[in-house]
Structure 1
Protein backbone atom coordinates (compact mmCIF):
# COMPACT_ATOMS: atom_id res chain seq x y z
CA UNK A 1 0.00 0.00 0.00
CA UNK A 2 1.26 3.53 -0.74
CA UNK A 3 2.62 5.48 2.21
CA UNK A 4 1.21 8.89 3.17
CA UNK A 5 4.18 10.72 1.64
CA UNK A 6 1.95 13.45 0.24
CA UNK A 7 -0.27 14.08 3.26
CA UNK A 8 -1.66 17.60 3.17
CA UNK A 9 -0.39 18.31 -0.36
CA UNK A 10 -2.55 19.79 -3.10
CA UNK A 11 -2.11 18.52 -6.64
CA UNK A 12 -3.32 19.47 -10.10
CA UNK A 13 -3.21 16.94 -12.96
CA UNK A 14 -4.08 17.73 -16.57
CA UNK A 15 -5.83 14.96 -18.46
CA UNK A 16 -6.71 13.03 -15.32
CA UNK A 17 -9.88 11.17 -16.27
CA UNK A 18 -8.38 8.24 -18.20
CA UNK A 19 -5.32 6.11 -18.75
CA UNK A 20 -2.05 7.19 -17.17
CA UNK A 21 -3.53 10.48 -15.98
CA UNK A 22 -6.29 8.74 -14.02
CA UNK A 23 -3.77 6.36 -12.45
CA UNK A 24 -1.68 9.35 -11.35
CA UNK A 25 -4.68 11.09 -9.79
CA UNK A 26 -5.58 7.97 -7.82
CA UNK A 27 -2.00 7.34 -6.66
CA UNK A 28 -1.48 10.90 -5.47
CA UNK A 29 -4.71 10.66 -3.50
CA UNK A 30 -3.68 7.30 -2.05
CA UNK A 31 -0.51 8.96 -0.77
CA UNK A 32 -2.49 11.70 0.94
CA UNK A 33 -2.92 14.53 -1.57
CA UNK A 34 -6.05 16.44 -2.48
CA UNK A 35 -6.27 16.29 -6.27
CA UNK A 36 -7.86 18.51 -8.91
CA UNK A 37 -7.75 17.30 -12.49
CA UNK A 38 -8.96 18.26 -15.93
CA UNK A 39 -10.87 16.21 -18.44
CA UNK A 40 -11.83 16.90 -22.03
CA UNK A 41 -15.12 15.13 -22.70
CA UNK A 42 -16.26 12.29 -20.45
CA UNK A 43 -17.89 13.66 -17.33
CA UNK A 44 -18.84 10.13 -16.34
CA UNK A 45 -15.22 8.95 -16.32
CA UNK A 46 -14.16 12.06 -14.48
CA UNK A 47 -16.81 11.39 -11.86
CA UNK A 48 -15.50 7.86 -11.34
CA UNK A 49 -11.97 9.12 -10.80
CA UNK A 50 -13.17 11.82 -8.42
CA UNK A 51 -15.07 9.18 -6.44
CA UNK A 52 -11.87 7.13 -6.15
CA UNK A 53 -10.06 10.15 -4.72
CA UNK A 54 -12.84 10.79 -2.21
CA UNK A 55 -12.77 7.11 -1.21
CA UNK A 56 -9.22 7.77 0.00
CA UNK A 57 -10.57 10.51 2.25
CA UNK A 58 -9.15 13.29 0.08
CA UNK A 59 -10.75 16.22 -1.69
CA UNK A 60 -11.36 15.81 -5.42
CA UNK A 61 -12.11 18.37 -8.08
CA UNK A 62 -12.79 17.55 -11.73
CA UNK A 63 -12.73 20.45 -14.20
CA UNK A 64 -13.67 20.24 -17.85
CA UNK A 65 -11.04 22.06 -19.88
CA UNK A 66 -10.05 22.33 -23.53
CA UNK A 67 -6.27 21.97 -23.71
CA UNK A 68 -6.27 23.87 -27.01
CA UNK A 69 -7.74 26.91 -25.28
CA UNK A 70 -5.20 28.86 -23.20
CA UNK A 71 -7.91 30.58 -21.14
CA UNK A 72 -9.53 27.25 -20.35
CA UNK A 73 -6.30 25.74 -19.03
CA UNK A 74 -5.38 28.87 -17.07
CA UNK A 75 -8.85 29.15 -15.55
CA UNK A 76 -8.78 25.50 -14.46
CA UNK A 77 -5.49 26.00 -12.60
CA UNK A 78 -6.73 29.19 -10.95
CA UNK A 79 -9.98 27.51 -9.89
CA UNK A 80 -8.14 24.58 -8.31
CA UNK A 81 -5.66 26.84 -6.51
CA UNK A 82 -8.46 29.01 -5.13
CA UNK A 83 -10.48 26.02 -3.93
CA UNK A 84 -7.55 24.19 -2.35
CA UNK A 85 -5.71 27.25 -1.10
CA UNK A 86 -2.66 26.78 -3.30
CA UNK A 87 -0.95 24.00 -5.26
CA UNK A 88 2.07 21.91 -4.29
CA UNK A 89 2.20 19.52 -7.25
CA UNK A 90 1.55 19.96 -10.97
CA UNK A 91 1.48 16.99 -13.34
CA UNK A 92 1.32 17.88 -17.03
CA UNK A 93 -0.24 14.66 -18.28
CA UNK A 94 -2.73 15.63 -20.99
CA UNK A 95 -1.70 14.65 -24.49
CA UNK A 96 -2.84 13.53 -27.91
CA UNK A 97 -1.28 11.18 -30.42
CA UNK A 98 -1.21 11.85 -34.16
CA UNK A 99 0.09 9.16 -36.49
CA UNK A 100 0.70 9.93 -40.15
CA UNK A 101 3.57 10.25 -42.58
CA UNK A 102 5.04 13.70 -43.18
CA UNK A 103 3.49 13.83 -46.65
CA UNK A 104 0.04 13.34 -45.12
CA UNK A 105 0.29 15.74 -42.19
CA UNK A 106 -1.30 19.18 -42.28
CA UNK A 107 -0.55 22.45 -40.54
CA UNK A 108 -3.69 21.89 -38.49
CA UNK A 109 -2.27 18.55 -37.29
CA UNK A 110 0.94 20.34 -36.32
CA UNK A 111 -0.85 23.11 -34.43
CA UNK A 112 -3.22 20.73 -32.64
CA UNK A 113 -0.38 18.50 -31.45
CA UNK A 114 1.73 21.37 -30.14
CA UNK A 115 -1.28 23.10 -28.56
CA UNK A 116 -2.17 20.08 -26.45
CA UNK A 117 1.17 18.38 -25.84
CA UNK A 118 3.35 21.45 -25.31
CA UNK A 119 1.58 24.79 -25.10
CA UNK A 120 -0.94 23.56 -22.51
CA UNK A 121 1.96 22.35 -20.33
CA UNK A 122 3.58 25.79 -20.57
CA UNK A 123 0.32 27.54 -19.67
CA UNK A 124 -0.44 25.22 -16.75
CA UNK A 125 3.10 25.57 -15.42
CA UNK A 126 3.06 29.35 -15.75
CA UNK A 127 -0.25 29.55 -13.89
CA UNK A 128 0.63 27.00 -11.22
CA UNK A 129 3.94 28.47 -10.07
CA UNK A 130 2.16 31.61 -8.91
CA UNK A 131 0.34 29.44 -6.36
CA UNK A 132 3.16 27.02 -5.56
CA UNK A 133 5.25 27.32 -2.39
CA UNK A 134 8.98 26.75 -2.26
CA UNK A 135 9.68 23.03 -2.57
CA UNK A 136 6.86 22.38 -5.04
CA UNK A 137 6.90 19.72 -7.73
CA UNK A 138 6.30 19.74 -11.48
CA UNK A 139 6.23 16.46 -13.40
CA UNK A 140 5.68 16.21 -17.16
CA UNK A 141 4.52 13.03 -18.84
CA UNK A 142 6.67 12.70 -21.93
CA UNK A 143 7.25 9.59 -24.02
CA UNK A 144 10.09 7.24 -24.82
CA UNK A 145 9.40 8.27 -28.43
CA UNK A 146 10.90 11.66 -27.59
CA UNK A 147 14.27 9.95 -27.35
CA UNK A 148 14.02 7.26 -30.02
CA UNK A 149 11.70 7.07 -33.05
CA UNK A 150 11.58 3.38 -34.00
CA UNK A 151 8.64 3.52 -36.44
CA UNK A 152 7.51 5.84 -39.24
CA UNK A 153 4.51 8.11 -38.90
CA UNK A 154 5.18 9.55 -35.42
CA UNK A 155 7.21 12.65 -36.22
CA UNK A 156 4.71 15.14 -34.78
CA UNK A 157 4.23 13.23 -31.54
CA UNK A 158 7.96 12.69 -31.07
CA UNK A 159 8.65 16.35 -31.78
CA UNK A 160 6.11 17.57 -29.24
CA UNK A 161 7.44 15.29 -26.51
CA UNK A 162 11.04 16.25 -27.28
CA UNK A 163 10.10 19.89 -26.89
CA UNK A 164 8.44 19.05 -23.58
CA UNK A 165 11.83 17.86 -22.33
CA UNK A 166 13.34 21.25 -23.11
CA UNK A 167 10.48 23.10 -21.43
CA UNK A 168 10.70 21.01 -18.28
CA UNK A 169 14.48 21.25 -17.98
CA UNK A 170 14.16 25.00 -18.42
CA UNK A 171 11.60 25.09 -15.60
CA UNK A 172 14.08 23.22 -13.39
CA UNK A 173 16.62 26.00 -13.93
CA UNK A 174 14.11 28.83 -13.58
CA UNK A 175 12.58 27.50 -10.37
CA UNK A 176 15.57 25.84 -8.71
CA UNK A 177 16.23 28.79 -6.42
CA UNK A 178 12.82 28.14 -4.88
CA UNK A 179 13.47 24.45 -4.39
CA UNK A 180 10.78 23.61 -6.96
CA UNK A 181 11.72 20.53 -8.97
CA UNK A 182 10.74 19.78 -12.57
CA UNK A 183 11.22 16.36 -14.14
CA UNK A 184 10.01 14.28 -17.09
CA UNK A 185 8.66 10.73 -16.99
CA UNK A 186 8.82 8.89 -20.32
CA UNK A 187 6.35 5.98 -20.51
CA UNK A 188 6.72 3.48 -23.27
CA UNK A 189 3.90 1.25 -24.49
CA UNK A 190 1.38 1.31 -21.65
CA UNK A 191 -1.86 -0.64 -21.50
CA UNK A 192 -4.55 2.02 -21.84
CA UNK A 193 -7.61 2.47 -24.03
CA UNK A 194 -5.44 4.66 -26.30
CA UNK A 195 -2.90 1.86 -26.81
CA UNK A 196 -4.23 -1.46 -25.47
CA UNK A 197 -1.89 -4.39 -24.96
CA UNK A 198 -4.22 -6.47 -27.16
CA UNK A 199 -4.52 -3.90 -29.91
CA UNK A 200 -3.29 -3.81 -33.48
CA UNK A 201 0.44 -3.28 -33.52
CA UNK A 202 0.93 -4.37 -29.90
CA UNK A 203 3.11 -7.34 -30.87
CA UNK A 204 5.37 -5.09 -32.93
CA UNK A 205 5.78 -2.79 -29.94
CA UNK A 206 6.63 -5.71 -27.67
CA UNK A 207 9.21 -6.94 -30.16
CA UNK A 208 11.54 -4.01 -29.44
CA UNK A 209 11.31 -4.27 -25.65
CA UNK A 210 13.88 -5.96 -23.42
CA UNK A 211 10.98 -6.99 -21.17
CA UNK A 212 8.28 -7.75 -23.74
CA UNK A 213 5.16 -6.62 -21.94
CA UNK A 214 3.11 -3.46 -21.90
CA UNK A 215 3.44 -1.29 -18.83
CA UNK A 216 0.68 -0.75 -16.30
CA UNK A 217 -0.49 2.86 -15.77
CA UNK A 218 -0.07 2.27 -12.02
CA UNK A 219 3.67 1.75 -12.56
CA UNK A 220 4.00 5.16 -14.17
CA UNK A 221 1.89 6.67 -11.39
CA UNK A 222 4.20 5.19 -8.77
CA UNK A 223 7.21 6.91 -10.33
CA UNK A 224 5.33 10.21 -10.53
CA UNK A 225 4.33 9.94 -6.87
CA UNK A 226 7.96 9.35 -5.87
CA UNK A 227 9.06 12.45 -7.81
CA UNK A 228 6.31 14.41 -6.06
CA UNK A 229 7.41 13.18 -2.64
CA UNK A 230 10.02 14.18 -0.08
CA UNK A 231 12.71 11.69 -1.17
CA UNK A 232 13.02 13.36 -4.58
CA UNK A 233 13.66 16.90 -3.39
CA UNK A 234 17.14 16.88 -4.93
CA UNK A 235 16.04 15.41 -8.26
CA UNK A 236 15.35 18.03 -10.92
CA UNK A 237 15.86 18.54 -14.63
CA UNK A 238 15.95 14.76 -15.04
CA UNK A 239 14.31 12.23 -17.37
CA UNK A 240 13.01 8.84 -16.24
CA UNK A 241 12.14 6.23 -18.85
CA UNK A 242 9.74 3.41 -17.99
CA UNK A 243 9.36 1.43 -21.20
CA UNK A 244 10.41 -2.17 -20.59
CA UNK A 245 13.80 -1.43 -22.12
CA UNK A 246 12.48 -0.46 -25.56
CA UNK A 247 15.03 2.36 -25.68
CA UNK A 248 17.87 0.33 -24.15
Structure 2
Protein backbone atom coordinates (compact mmCIF):
# COMPACT_ATOMS: atom_id res chain seq x y z
CA UNK A 1 0.00 0.00 0.00
CA UNK A 2 1.47 3.37 -0.98
CA UNK A 3 1.73 6.21 1.52
CA UNK A 4 -1.24 8.19 0.14
CA UNK A 5 -3.57 5.18 0.34
CA UNK A 6 -2.30 4.33 3.82
CA UNK A 7 -2.99 7.85 5.07
CA UNK A 8 -6.46 7.76 3.50
CA UNK A 9 -7.30 4.47 5.24
CA UNK A 10 -5.99 5.78 8.57
CA UNK A 11 -8.07 8.95 8.25
CA UNK A 12 -11.22 6.95 7.45
CA UNK A 13 -10.57 4.72 10.47
CA UNK A 14 -10.13 7.73 12.75
CA UNK A 15 -13.25 9.39 11.32
CA UNK A 16 -15.21 6.19 11.98
CA UNK A 17 -13.86 6.09 15.54
CA UNK A 18 -14.90 9.71 16.08
CA UNK A 19 -18.33 9.04 14.55
CA UNK A 20 -19.09 6.10 16.83
CA UNK A 21 -17.78 7.97 19.88
CA UNK A 22 -20.03 10.97 19.18
CA UNK A 23 -23.01 8.84 18.15
CA UNK A 24 -22.90 6.84 21.40
CA UNK A 25 -22.64 9.98 23.53
CA UNK A 26 -25.55 11.60 21.67
CA UNK A 27 -27.78 8.52 21.98
CA UNK A 28 -27.01 7.97 25.67
CA UNK A 29 -27.51 11.69 26.33
CA UNK A 30 -24.02 12.46 27.57
CA UNK A 31 -24.38 15.19 24.96
CA UNK A 32 -27.84 16.55 25.64
CA UNK A 33 -30.22 17.96 23.00
CA UNK A 34 -29.41 21.62 22.42
CA UNK A 35 -25.91 21.36 23.91
CA UNK A 36 -23.02 23.00 22.03
CA UNK A 37 -19.95 20.85 21.34
CA UNK A 38 -16.65 21.83 19.77
CA UNK A 39 -14.23 20.21 17.32
CA UNK A 40 -11.14 21.08 19.36
CA UNK A 41 -12.51 19.58 22.56
CA UNK A 42 -13.52 16.33 20.86
CA UNK A 43 -10.17 16.04 19.05
CA UNK A 44 -8.31 16.51 22.35
CA UNK A 45 -10.53 14.03 24.15
CA UNK A 46 -9.91 11.40 21.46
CA UNK A 47 -6.26 12.30 20.96
CA UNK A 48 -6.64 12.78 17.20
CA UNK A 49 -6.49 15.67 14.74
CA UNK A 50 -9.49 17.85 13.91
CA UNK A 51 -9.84 16.52 10.32
CA UNK A 52 -11.41 13.11 11.15
CA UNK A 53 -13.51 14.77 13.87
CA UNK A 54 -14.80 17.25 11.29
CA UNK A 55 -15.68 14.38 8.92
CA UNK A 56 -17.59 12.61 11.71
CA UNK A 57 -19.44 15.81 12.59
CA UNK A 58 -20.49 16.39 8.97
CA UNK A 59 -21.78 12.81 8.73
CA UNK A 60 -23.79 13.19 11.94
CA UNK A 61 -25.10 16.53 10.68
CA UNK A 62 -26.26 14.82 7.46
CA UNK A 63 -28.10 12.30 9.65
CA UNK A 64 -29.69 15.20 11.60
CA UNK A 65 -28.08 14.41 14.95
CA UNK A 66 -25.97 17.58 14.88
CA UNK A 67 -26.47 21.10 13.51
CA UNK A 68 -23.44 23.10 12.40
CA UNK A 69 -23.73 26.71 13.56
CA UNK A 70 -21.26 28.99 11.72
CA UNK A 71 -19.07 31.04 14.08
CA UNK A 72 -20.70 29.32 17.07
CA UNK A 73 -19.96 25.61 17.08
CA UNK A 74 -21.93 22.42 16.71
CA UNK A 75 -25.28 21.93 18.40
CA UNK A 76 -26.79 18.58 19.31
CA UNK A 77 -30.15 18.40 17.56
CA UNK A 78 -33.32 18.34 19.63
CA UNK A 79 -35.41 15.17 19.56
CA UNK A 80 -38.21 15.38 17.01
CA UNK A 81 -41.28 13.37 18.01
CA UNK A 82 -42.39 13.35 14.36
CA UNK A 83 -39.06 11.91 13.20
CA UNK A 84 -39.09 9.35 16.01
CA UNK A 85 -42.59 8.20 15.02
CA UNK A 86 -41.69 8.03 11.32
CA UNK A 87 -38.50 6.10 12.07
CA UNK A 88 -40.40 3.70 14.32
CA UNK A 89 -42.86 2.85 11.56
CA UNK A 90 -40.05 2.10 9.11
CA UNK A 91 -38.09 0.14 11.70
CA UNK A 92 -41.11 -1.91 12.73
CA UNK A 93 -41.98 -2.84 9.16
CA UNK A 94 -38.45 -3.94 8.30
CA UNK A 95 -37.62 -5.69 11.57
CA UNK A 96 -40.87 -7.65 11.50
CA UNK A 97 -39.96 -8.81 7.99
CA UNK A 98 -36.50 -9.88 9.17
CA UNK A 99 -37.67 -11.67 12.33
CA UNK A 100 -40.40 -13.53 10.40
CA UNK A 101 -37.83 -14.61 7.81
CA UNK A 102 -35.56 -15.95 10.53
CA UNK A 103 -38.48 -17.82 12.12
CA UNK A 104 -39.35 -19.29 8.73
CA UNK A 105 -35.79 -20.46 8.01
CA UNK A 106 -34.82 -21.61 11.50
CA UNK A 107 -33.59 -25.20 11.66
CA UNK A 108 -32.66 -26.30 15.18
CA UNK A 109 -30.70 -29.28 13.81
CA UNK A 110 -28.41 -27.00 11.80
CA UNK A 111 -25.12 -26.11 13.53
CA UNK A 112 -25.32 -22.51 12.28
CA UNK A 113 -28.67 -21.99 14.01
CA UNK A 114 -27.46 -23.83 17.11
CA UNK A 115 -24.57 -21.36 17.33
CA UNK A 116 -26.94 -18.45 16.69
CA UNK A 117 -29.21 -19.54 19.54
CA UNK A 118 -26.21 -19.80 21.85
CA UNK A 119 -25.22 -16.24 20.90
CA UNK A 120 -28.74 -14.88 21.45
CA UNK A 121 -29.02 -16.50 24.88
CA UNK A 122 -25.59 -15.13 25.83
CA UNK A 123 -26.74 -11.63 24.88
CA UNK A 124 -29.88 -12.04 27.00
CA UNK A 125 -27.71 -13.21 29.91
CA UNK A 126 -25.65 -10.01 29.60
CA UNK A 127 -28.87 -7.98 29.57
CA UNK A 128 -30.05 -9.75 32.69
CA UNK A 129 -26.77 -8.97 34.46
CA UNK A 130 -27.00 -5.30 33.41
CA UNK A 131 -30.60 -5.11 34.66
CA UNK A 132 -29.73 -6.70 38.01
CA UNK A 133 -26.96 -4.13 38.47
CA UNK A 134 -29.01 -1.18 37.16
CA UNK A 135 -26.51 -0.58 34.33
CA UNK A 136 -28.76 1.31 31.93
CA UNK A 137 -26.03 2.12 29.39
CA UNK A 138 -24.96 -1.52 29.15
CA UNK A 139 -28.55 -2.72 29.01
CA UNK A 140 -29.27 -0.37 26.11
CA UNK A 141 -26.16 -1.58 24.25
CA UNK A 142 -27.14 -5.25 24.64
CA UNK A 143 -30.68 -4.47 23.50
CA UNK A 144 -29.17 -3.16 20.26
CA UNK A 145 -26.88 -6.19 19.99
CA UNK A 146 -29.83 -8.60 20.36
CA UNK A 147 -31.79 -7.02 17.52
CA UNK A 148 -28.65 -6.72 15.39
CA UNK A 149 -27.93 -10.42 15.86
CA UNK A 150 -31.35 -11.44 14.53
CA UNK A 151 -30.93 -9.06 11.58
CA UNK A 152 -27.54 -10.64 10.84
CA UNK A 153 -29.08 -14.12 10.95
CA UNK A 154 -31.67 -12.96 8.41
CA UNK A 155 -28.81 -12.24 6.03
CA UNK A 156 -30.49 -9.39 4.13
CA UNK A 157 -27.72 -6.80 4.23
CA UNK A 158 -29.76 -4.06 2.54
CA UNK A 159 -32.59 -4.42 5.06
CA UNK A 160 -30.12 -4.50 7.95
CA UNK A 161 -28.37 -1.35 6.73
CA UNK A 162 -31.65 0.58 6.41
CA UNK A 163 -32.85 -0.50 9.88
CA UNK A 164 -29.58 0.63 11.45
CA UNK A 165 -29.88 4.00 9.73
CA UNK A 166 -33.49 4.77 10.65
CA UNK A 167 -33.44 3.62 14.25
CA UNK A 168 -30.84 6.19 15.28
CA UNK A 169 -33.55 8.79 15.90
CA UNK A 170 -35.55 6.25 17.88
CA UNK A 171 -32.68 5.40 20.16
CA UNK A 172 -32.57 8.54 22.29
CA UNK A 173 -36.24 8.01 23.10
CA UNK A 174 -35.61 4.34 23.85
CA UNK A 175 -32.72 5.25 26.12
CA UNK A 176 -35.00 7.62 28.04
CA UNK A 177 -37.58 4.83 28.23
CA UNK A 178 -35.02 2.44 29.76
CA UNK A 179 -33.79 5.15 32.13
CA UNK A 180 -37.24 6.26 33.27
CA UNK A 181 -39.29 3.07 33.38
CA UNK A 182 -36.64 0.50 34.36
CA UNK A 183 -38.88 -2.05 32.59
CA UNK A 184 -35.83 -4.12 31.82
CA UNK A 185 -37.37 -7.37 33.07
CA UNK A 186 -40.20 -7.04 30.53
CA UNK A 187 -37.73 -6.50 27.70
CA UNK A 188 -35.66 -9.51 28.75
CA UNK A 189 -38.81 -11.63 28.93
CA UNK A 190 -39.78 -10.50 25.42
CA UNK A 191 -36.35 -11.40 24.06
CA UNK A 192 -36.45 -14.82 25.72
CA UNK A 193 -39.89 -15.48 24.27
CA UNK A 194 -38.87 -14.27 20.81
CA UNK A 195 -36.01 -16.79 20.75
CA UNK A 196 -38.42 -19.57 21.77
CA UNK A 197 -41.00 -18.61 19.13
CA UNK A 198 -38.36 -18.31 16.40
CA UNK A 199 -37.02 -21.74 17.33
CA UNK A 200 -40.58 -23.09 17.03
CA UNK A 201 -40.96 -21.48 13.56
CA UNK A 202 -44.04 -19.70 14.95
CA UNK A 203 -44.10 -16.84 12.45
CA UNK A 204 -47.46 -15.35 13.46
CA UNK A 205 -46.61 -15.17 17.17
CA UNK A 206 -43.16 -13.76 16.41
CA UNK A 207 -44.81 -10.93 14.48
CA UNK A 208 -47.38 -10.27 17.22
CA UNK A 209 -44.82 -10.18 20.04
CA UNK A 210 -42.27 -8.11 18.12
CA UNK A 211 -44.84 -5.47 17.17
CA UNK A 212 -45.92 -5.19 20.81
CA UNK A 213 -42.28 -5.12 21.93
CA UNK A 214 -41.31 -2.30 19.55
CA UNK A 215 -44.44 -0.21 20.14
CA UNK A 216 -44.16 -0.19 23.91
CA UNK A 217 -42.06 2.99 24.01
CA UNK A 218 -44.95 4.95 22.46
CA UNK A 219 -46.84 4.43 25.74
CA UNK A 220 -44.30 6.72 27.40
CA UNK A 221 -43.94 9.48 24.78
CA UNK A 222 -46.09 12.02 26.61
CA UNK A 223 -44.65 11.30 30.06
CA UNK A 224 -41.08 11.57 28.77
CA UNK A 225 -41.81 14.78 26.86
CA UNK A 226 -43.40 16.34 29.95
CA UNK A 227 -40.41 15.41 32.12
CA UNK A 228 -37.77 16.51 29.58
CA UNK A 229 -39.36 19.38 27.64
CA UNK A 230 -35.96 20.95 26.93
CA UNK A 231 -34.89 17.84 24.98
CA UNK A 232 -37.60 18.16 22.34
CA UNK A 233 -38.15 20.33 19.30
CA UNK A 234 -41.35 22.22 20.03
CA UNK A 235 -42.07 22.53 16.29
CA UNK A 236 -42.05 18.81 15.47
Q: What TM-score range do you get, normalising by the shorter chain?
A: under 0.3
Q: Which of the pair has more CA radius of gyration?
A: 2
Higher strand share: 1
TM-score by length of 1: 0.27
Q: Give the number of the structure with larger relative contact order, counting CA–CA contacts within 8 Å between residues 6 or more apart.
A: 2
- The alignment's TM-score, normalised by the length of structure 2, stands at 0.28
